[in-house]
Structure 1
Amino acid sequence: MDFSSFFYALQESALAQWVNTYGATYPIVESLHVIAIALVFGTILIVDLRLLGLASTNRPFTRVARDLLHLTWGGFALAIVTGVLLFLPNAASIYINVNFQVKMILLVLAGINMFIFELVTARSVGIWDTTISPPNAARIAGLLSIGFWMTIIVFGRLIGFTSVADDPFAFI
């Protein structure tokens, strides 16, 4: 299925043109995107380090997670909005960029990891909430989360430095 006409239409939209040509809009949106990613990764890292028993061990896991959750979701919402705005002006070339594709797959995997943690591991949080070292399943979820988010950031940065001509996997 060929989506290229859809992505070209997005690229030619009034919103894409505004982001791309109106004063300092693009660099401002890009800066907000970086701030949002730093907020998301920073708050998730604190929670994940608590899951690994490496930080905030004097506080219950539920307190650490609850204190940071609103910041994480706020940062994530801002990252989505700014990410879409950054995508639009170059939609036709970004959607076929392998680094973009890998980043999107990693975002889905990070979401699945979080979903499994919430659905399975966090159900027994009452048992291990105040222990310094949570169960192996919680530590694995934290380690996977850190790995996913670090690679999401790396592949996100690579998007802007890889053109389709440089991309050996552009045919995917």
Structure 2
Amino acid sequence: MDISALLKSLEASGLATKIRDSVYLFPLLESMHVLGLALVFGTISIIDLRLLGLASTQRSFQRMASDILKWTWAAFALTALTGSLMFTTNATVYYHNFYFRAKMLVLALTGINMLFFELTAARTVRDWDQAPSAPRAGKAVAALSLAMWIGVICLGRLIGFTTSRAAAAPPAPAGVSFDDFLGTPNNSGGTPTTPAPHK
């Protein structure tokens, strides 16, 4: 099965159809997705600011991480679930949306960034657990983490904006191509043509 067929099968599934046809389900999922993402960003920001030495510098990093990260993972699971359900309702459009792909890439980079932290600063956490800030590697990870999660939020907003505009755009009249609206050059001078009247 190629990707186009898979996307169409997702859109045609009973669950996707039910979400699309419901007045309340999609807005509910979207609200839960936003709330989950806000909790993910909020809790990660607390950790990152601690690593940078900008907040909660008197607290043990390990103790703080233990208290907070369980909420981060729970919120991330909620965000992933609701995002996946929303994706099924219009999978083809989302899949081909530039901002959706960019968001998925940045999310993957946040995972790589986290792995880098585990392989560097986290291995010596006992040495700096009570220090006001993390070593240089930990600070770099924290700064990148904040930047990337802000990027995820902005890209998510752009997904909603661009897909809404695409859905709202009126279809072109029969016999008129998209190039007609742009004025396709028909000579070496680049002078745009005027769409011919259709009979």
TM-score, normalising length from structure 2?
0.80
TM-superposed CA distance for 1:120, in Å, is: 2.0
TM-score, normalising length from structure 1?
0.92
**Cα distance between partner residues in 2 of 1:53 and 1:64:** 13
Determine which structure has greater relative contact order: mean sequence separation of CA pairs < 8 Å that are 6+ residues apart, divided by chain length: 1
Bigger shift: residues 100-109 or 12-21: 12-21
Q: In the alignment, does 2:76 pair up with 1:72?
A: no
**Cα distance between partner residues in 1 of 2:58 and 2:129:** 11
8 Å contact from structure 2 (residues 121, 134) kept in 1: no
**Cα distance between partner residues in 2 of 1:26 and 1:101:** 21
Q: In the alignment, does 2:133 pair up with 1:133?
A: yes
**Structure with bigger gyration radius:** 2
Task: Name the residue aligned to 2:156.
Answer: 156
TM-superposed CA distance for 1:9, in Å, is: 1.1
Structure 1, gaps ≥5 residues long: 166-172
TM-superposed CA distance for 1:119, in Å, is: 2.2
TM-superposed CA distance for 1:20, in Å, is: 1.2
Partner of 2:63, secondary structure, is: helix
TM-superposed CA distance for 1:147, in Å, is: 0.6
User: Within 5 Å, which residues of 2 pair with 1:1-172?
Assistant: 3-163=3-163
- The one-letter amino acid of 2:16's match is A
TM-superposed CA distance for 1:122, in Å, is: 0.2
TM-superposed CA distance for 1:5, in Å, is: 1.6
- Deviating runs (4+, > 6 A) in structure 1? none
Structure 2, gaps ≥5 residues long: 167-199
Task: Name the residue aligned to 2:197.
Answer: none
TM-superposed CA distance for 1:81, in Å, is: 0.4
- The one-letter amino acid of 1:106's match is V
**Cα distance between partner residues in 1 of 2:112 and 2:11:** 30
**Cα distance between partner residues in 2 of 1:110 and 1:14:** 33
Number of aligned residues:
166
Bigger shift: residues 134-143 or 13-22: 13-22
How well do the aligned residues superpose, as a CA RMSD in angstroms? 1.6
**Cα distance between partner residues in 2 of 1:119 and 1:67:** 21
